[in-house]
Amino acid sequence: MTRRTASDRLRKALVVVVSLVAVLAVTGCDPLPVRQASHETNVFTPPPLPADARSRPLGRPGPLPADTGPYKITLTQGTSQAPVAYDPCRPIHYVTNRASKPRNGDAVLREALARLGAATGLHFHDDGATTEVPVPHRPDFQPKRYGNRWAPVLISWSDPQDLADLDGPVVGIGYSDSYGDPGQRRYVSGTVVLDGPQINEWLKQSGGRARARAIIEHELGHLVGLGHVHDPHEIMNPDASVSTTDYGPGDLHGLALLGTGRCFRDA
């Protein structure tokens, strides 16, 4: 069975300079229309510097392979080729909606996050379970739910009955939201949605755990800022073969670059 993923989309913020890069899981679809982000209030003041932010990166990307391969950075800093990335000096907090979680789903997710962390040097912090469900205009600032901070990344196990975007061959969605003035943008929150029933069927098959992890690694690649490449040896190929079950050389070079973004001392 072929894995299918989506084309990228850029959304603009209502009140502040926020751009959002979204990737849906449908191969060859037309670019989606520009959408606007939303916050819980019309007057938006960005949250303060989090207490767990540091002045130096929390980690460093792992060793790069000798081989090279293609990679695509989803969003760059205006006319500069520097990538928009998560701040490496603070953990990326995430919450998980387990409504349609398959058996062993949490374990496979942890494996994928560990591989992503090793490749980027970024640190991921599990804030536990949530009842929040993915929506097209998910606010990246939800103080009533998460306090005065950027909303943690939402990782949601869902199914086509709850989210129409997962209908048919679609197995995952991944995107992140960026904030900041031109040339100083950084990702602050994001969403990953996984089709629990489809992934559950794969987990029942021989070799299915590695394949399920590869699907999650693909969507997590979108989360931190990688786009699609058409190379069968890379996880970020939208039609990766069953044998492609881990990040390839191009993926690793791109992830290492995305793990060396700027540290910010504001929001």
> Residue 99: its pLDDT value, please?
92
pTM for this prediction: 0.84
> Residue 79: its pLDDT value, please?
76
Name the strands in the sheet holding 186-195, side by side, starting at the edge strand that comes first in the sequence: 8-12, 18-23, 172-179, 186-195, 153-158, 92-97, 124-129
The enclosing H or E element of 65 equals: none
> Residue 14: its pLDDT value, please?
26
> Residue 240: its pLDDT value, please?
55
pLDDT beneath 50: ranges in the chain: 1-38
CA distances from 257 to 27, 226, 245 (A): 25, 10, 21
Pairing of strands 186-195, 124-129: unpaired
CB of 114 within 8 A of CB of 12?
A: no
> Residue 43: its pLDDT value, please?
65
DSSP strands (E only) in the chain = 8-12, 18-23, 92-97, 124-129, 153-158, 172-179, 186-195
Domains of the chain (ranges, CATH numbers): 8-30+54-258 (3.40.390.10)
Which of 183, 222, 212 is closest to 104 using CA atoms? 212
> Residue 6: its pLDDT value, please?
35
